[in-house]
Chains A and B, each alone.
Chain A
Amino acid sequence: MQDTLAQLERGESAIITDVSSIHIPLKLLEMGCLPGNSVKLVQLAPFHDPMYLNINGSHLAIRKETAAHILIEKVTHE
């Protein structure tokens, strides 16, 4: 079972591995939410939703339900 962006915790980073394009608006892709790009969780609103992200250098906020359609691989800091 792969992780989704919705499971990311504050301060964690990850690499986007896949984006299910049917559930994701084109606008989000255009803002850099594409496979291979890095993503970092900057801040969470109460209830883990919405999520304030830094994707590929762009800062944006999306809802948790959208984030659940973006597959990621967490980057572990040693």
Chain B
Amino acid sequence: MSKQINVALIGNPNTGKTSVFNALTGLNQKVGNYPGITVEKKEGVCKLPRGVKAHIIDLPGTYSLNASSLDESVVIELLLNQNDKDFPDIAVVVTDVENLKRNLLIFTQIKDLKIPTLLVINMADRMTYKGISLDIEYLEEQLQTKIALTSTRKKIGIDKLKELIANYKDVSSQPCIDISKIDDAYFGNLRKAFPNQLLYKLWLVITQDVNFGKTDRKDFDAVEDFKTKSEADLKRLQQKETIKRYQFINNVLKKGQTIDATQAKDLRSKLDRVLTHKVWGYVIFFFILIALFQAIYDWATVPMDMIDSAFAFLSEWTKDNLPSGAFTDLLSEGIIPGLGGIVIFIPQIAFLFLFIAILEESGYMSRVVFLMDRVMRRFGLSGKSVVPLISGTACAIPAIMATRNIESWKERLITILVTPFTTCSARLPVYLIIIALVIPEGRFLGLSYQALTLMLLYLLGFGTAVLSAYILNRILKIRSKSFFVVEMPNYKLPLFKNVFYTVVEKTKAFIFGAGKIILAISIVLWFLASYGPGENFNSAEEIITKEYASENLEVDDLDQKIAQYKLEHSYIGIAGRAIEPAIRPLGYDWKIGIAILSSFAAREVFVGTLATIYSVGNDDEETIKNRMAGEVNPILGGPLFTFASGISLLLFYAFAMQCMSTLAIVKRETNSWKWPLLQLVIMSVFAYIVALLAFQFLK
């Protein structure tokens, strides 16, 4: 039997660690979560020479083993727990040839844990460009490791890396630095108290706030002849440790690395001069945003229309070709339209993730953080809040998780609270269909009214987020230190492979995650809409036939009337009409009410719900949009979706907190029910009032 070895990929952010991971595993990868927390866990399988199989984990990017965030704690927890099933047989530290000095810091730390460690020096293609040359043999000897010089862009060195991993038994596990040199007395005592433990490991347990299984901090208090130090003293020691590590690294690199600055071409500073410019930087950022929204709206409509008609056709085909009966109805009226309501948004979501992935991969996002920090701080946010606010346009959940690198708790909390105002991709389906219904065609300055409306809605989302941040900043009395450190990575042409994997993975997760919920809800809704209690529902045919007996209706019209009557007296109709008084002032009928209620599972369910409700008992091959356009306002007559009710609905969806998953994540990230409940109540009440005012004013 071939043995499977555990490999952990570790490294600073922006070193191309994920590209190395992609190069090793290809599409043989799986993205999940670490149990109990929402840190993304990426793992994959790679076949190595001589039949060895490697299970590879791509650990979150971290600058050192001194964790300052949840993501970073994951790395330490794994490396300190030998009983973990993922505990690495070999650690692979990925570094960027241009930032070798800084990237080696974590390498020395892992070596000191006596874990066999390989060094990958990535982005080797940039060496000549930057005038860097390396003495690999010397470095291997000094760092006591094996080195793979790779370039994932040029596909160099990956085979060598696989070869080195396969020979993992030959890799040294000697430490780099003797930690006790930092403070002889202190570490001498520590060694005396725990003679069998690795000194650096003990040191990490003392200084880090993570969960270490068996070795617990309490054990330190229990031992009598060992007294730990005050926090300030510990920090001073950590500083000494860091200085010591850099001394070691500087010494090694002095001989092992030569940089000929005259050879270096500096594209970076040229780009930075423009992209972070006091004026041009902001202008360019603004145009990038405009381009993004125009593209999402314009490019995606073509495939979306195709998908819409394809599902309408499929629905019709099912009805005609399968034996008639309740289950066929469920398929053609419940499941297929419900699925259509989700599949139709694949193009847009893919575009959105594509843009975000490119902005992140290219290194541009950090420039935006730099540009926006001062502006955002005025509203109680951090420059780093820009990333959640932009990626919130995809989904608030990863956006809220992306707030973890905001150093100040107050800035982070405010970011978490306001992020759900940004227009997430789940709102997009609702916006698009309503815009298509109520906003007239036509152009203004070359932009279509519909695209402009969409852009206004995005601006409204951002505006509300920023404004409520300003208010929260005034109200919340939280004192917290405000730190702000952001790395400005090199500009890189985004790797097609990386962007492609991100888009595929995220879109897949979106479809299968939300898709299952939408499918289940469509089935339940269809059932509730197709069955009803009592006389009214069961003898609908007779009641209607009798009522219109004198009017001599066409068969088709009569069927339509019967179907309507049945729907109104089905379970869902009864429930819907019960809540109708609450939503009528906003301009909605009970069907929209049901769609809004089911939106609390996920906003995008709205379209699927309406599609299902409108298809029940409807035989024609129709697209969702046409069905909605055909709806008649039960009281006022005329189309149900007018300018007034449409705008009211758009505003309601812009402000209401309708995502249970977001509430759950906010609870988890803030560790309290207080904040998510506050969000739910305030946002929803605000949404109701604004929608009410809008409808009453416009009608």
Chain B residue contacts of A66, Cβ below 8 A? 483-485
**Which of chain A's residues has its CB closest to B276's CB?**
A43
- Check if A57 sits within 8 Å of B374, measured CB to CB: no
- Check if A30 sits within 8 Å of B105, measured CB to CB: yes
Instruction: Check B68 for interface membership: any CB of A closer than 8 A.
Output: yes
**Which of chain A's residues has its CB closest to B268's CB?**
A59
- Check if B99 sits within 8 Å of A25, measured CB to CB: no
Task: Convert B380-396 into 0s and 1s, putting 1 for each residue whose CB lies closer than 8 angstroms to a CB of A.
Answer: 00010000000000000
Task: Convert B404-447 into 0s and 1s, putting 1 for each residue whose CB lies closer than 8 angstroms to a CB of A.
Answer: 00010000000000000000000000000000000000000000
Chain A residue contacts of B488, Cβ below 8 A? 42, 52, 59-61
**Which of chain B's residues has its CB closest to A44's CB?**
B278
- Check if B239 sits within 8 Å of A32, measured CB to CB: no
Instruction: Check B101 for interface membership: any CB of A closer than 8 A.
Output: yes
- Check if B485 sits within 8 Å of A60, measured CB to CB: yes
- Check if B374 sits within 8 Å of A47, measured CB to CB: yes
Q: Assuming the A-B contacts A27-B68, A31-B487, are A63 and B373 also in contact, with contact meaning beta carbons closer than 8 angstroms in the complex?
A: yes
- Check if B487 sits within 8 Å of A50, measured CB to CB: no
Task: Convert A11-51 into 0s and 1s, putting 1 for each residue whose CB lies closer than 8 angstroms to a CB of B.
Answer: 00000000101100111111110110000001111110110
- Check if A32 sits within 8 Å of B484, measured CB to CB: no
Q: Assuming the A-B contacts A45-B370, A52-B276, are A29 and B242 also in contact, with contact meaning beta carbons closer than 8 angstroms in the complex?
A: yes
- Check if A31 sits within 8 Å of B482, measured CB to CB: no
- Check if A26 sits within 8 Å of B485, measured CB to CB: no
Residue of B482, B485, B490 with most partner-chain A CB within 10 A = B485
CA of A11 to CA of B232 in the docked complex: distance in angstroms?
Answer: 35
Task: Convert B356-377 into 0s and 1s, putting 1 for each residue whose CB lies closer than 8 angstroms to a CB of A.
Answer: 0000000000100111011000
Q: Assuming the A-B contacts A27-B68, A52-B488, are A43 and B99 also in contact, with contact meaning beta carbons closer than 8 angstroms in the complex?
A: no
B63 contact from A31, A47, A62, A63, Cβ within 8 A: A31
Question: How many pairs of A and B residues are in contact by the CB < 8 Å rule?
Answer: 114
B469-498, CB < 8 A from A: 482-490
A26 contact from B232, B238, B273, B373, Cβ within 8 A: B238
CA of A27 to CA of B489 in the docked complex: distance in angstroms?
Answer: 16
- Check if B482 sits within 8 Å of A34, measured CB to CB: no
Instruction: Check A58 for interface membership: any CB of B closer than 8 A.
Output: yes
Min CB gap A11→B, angstroms? 10
Chain B residue contacts of A25, Cβ below 8 A? 68, 407, 483, 485
- Check if A31 sits within 8 Å of B102, measured CB to CB: yes
Chain B residue contacts of A31, Cβ below 8 A? 63, 102, 485, 487
CA of A62 to CA of B382 in the docked complex: distance in angstroms?
Answer: 12
**Which of chain A's residues has its CB closest to B231's CB?**
A22
- Check if A42 sits within 8 Å of B373, measured CB to CB: no
CA of A60 to CA of B14 in the docked complex: distance in angstroms?
Answer: 12
Instruction: Check A9 for interface membership: any CB of B closer than 8 A.
Output: no
Provide the main secondary structure of the chain A interface.
Answer: mixed
- Number of B residues whose C-beta is below 8 Å from A? 40
- Check if A61 sits within 8 Å of B374, measured CB to CB: no
Chain A residue contacts of B66, Cβ below 8 A? 26-27, 30
B250-298, CB < 8 A from A: 268-269, 272-273, 276, 278
Min CB gap A13→B, angstroms? 14
Min CB gap B77→A, angstroms? 18
CA of A29 to CA of B450 in the docked complex: distance in angstroms?
Answer: 50
Residue of B273, B366, B374, B407 with most partner-chain A CB within 10 A = B374
Instruction: Check B236 for interface membership: any CB of A closer than 8 A.
Output: yes
Chain A residue contacts of B276, Cβ below 8 A? 43, 45, 52
Q: Assuming the A-B contacts A32-B101, A45-B370, A50-B383, are A26 and B235 also in contact, with contact meaning beta carbons closer than 8 angstroms in the complex?
A: yes
CA of A61 to CA of B273 in the docked complex: distance in angstroms?
Answer: 15
Residue of A27, A30, A35, A62 with most partner-chain B CB within 10 A = A30
Min CB gap B465→A, angstroms? 21
- Check if A21 sits within 8 Å of B239, measured CB to CB: yes
B485 contact from A19, A28, A43, A44, Cβ within 8 A: A28
CA of A2 to CA of B407 in the docked complex: distance in angstroms?
Answer: 28
- Check if B242 sits within 8 Å of A46, measured CB to CB: no
- Check if A32 sits within 8 Å of B232, measured CB to CB: no
- Check if B99 sits within 8 Å of A34, measured CB to CB: no
- Check if A30 sits within 8 Å of B374, measured CB to CB: no
Chain B residue contacts of A28, Cβ below 8 A? 483, 485
Instruction: Check B226 for interface membership: any CB of A closer than 8 A.
Output: no
- Check if B272 sits within 8 Å of A30, measured CB to CB: no
Chain A residue contacts of B272, Cβ below 8 A? 42-43, 52
A57-73, CB < 8 A from B: 57-63, 65-66
A46 contact from B68, B278, B407, Cβ within 8 A: B278
Chain A residue contacts of B484, Cβ below 8 A? 50, 61-63, 66
Q: Assuming the A-B contacts A22-B232, A25-B485, A52-B488, are A61 and B370 also in contact, with contact meaning beta carbons closer than 8 angstroms in the complex?
A: yes
CA of A32 to CA of B370 in the docked complex: distance in angstroms?
Answer: 19
Min CB gap B282→A, angstroms? 9
Min CB gap B250→A, angstroms? 9
Instruction: Check B246 for interface membership: any CB of A closer than 8 A.
Output: yes
Chain B residue contacts of A61, Cβ below 8 A? 366, 369-370, 373, 383, 484-486, 488
Instruction: Check B615 for interface membership: any CB of A closer than 8 A.
Output: no
- Check if A30 sits within 8 Å of B487, measured CB to CB: no
**Which of chain B's residues has its CB closest to A29's CB?**
B242
CA of A37 to CA of B289 in the docked complex: distance in angstroms?
Answer: 38
Taking Cβ atoms with an 8 Å cutoff, the residues of A that contact B are 19, 21-22, 25-32, 34-35, 42-47, 49-50, 52, 56-63, 65-66
Task: Please give 6 more A-B residue pairs, beta carbons under 8 A apart, in addition to A30-B64, A45-B276, A50-B383.
Answer: A26-B239, A28-B485, A42-B269, A43-B273, A61-B373, A61-B486
Contacts A/B (CB < 8 Å), 25 sampled: A26-B68, A29-B238, A29-B239, A29-B242, A30-B102, A30-B105, A34-B246, A42-B269, A43-B276, A46-B374, A49-B373, A50-B374, A56-B101, A57-B101, A57-B102, A58-B99, A59-B488, A59-B490, A61-B366, A61-B370, A61-B485, A62-B486, A63-B373, A63-B482, A63-B483
Closest 8 CB pairs of A and B: A59-B488, A63-B484, A30-B64, A61-B370, A43-B276, A25-B483, A50-B373, A58-B102
